[in-house]
Amino acid sequence: MESVRKANQRLRSYPILLGKCSVAAAAYAACVTTDLNVSHKVCEQEFQLFKQCLQKAASDMKTRL
């Protein structure tokens, strides 16, 4: 049950992580929603920036994603 408790703890930190990366998330969302026919790797740069932001925020909070 320890693993379930740790997973729940990580899930509770997701809104905080997303809040810290709201600028990168908005840029990625804007890129994805510009075209109805999204194809693979169209917004790769925005996604990588968002991913890096989440990873940095998670390491700053000493948690995993």
Cα separation, 40 vs 48, whole angstroms: 14
The pTM for the full model equals 0.84
Residues 63, 10: contact at Cβ < 8 Å? yes
Determine the pLDDT at residue 36: 82
Determine the pLDDT at residue 26: 97
Q: What is the pLDDT of residues 15-58, one digit of tens each?
A: 999 999 999 999 999 999 998 888 888 999 999 999 999 999 99
Q: Parse the chain into domains and list their residue ranges.
A: 2-60
Residues 18, 25: contact at Cβ < 8 Å? yes
Determine the pLDDT at residue 16: 93
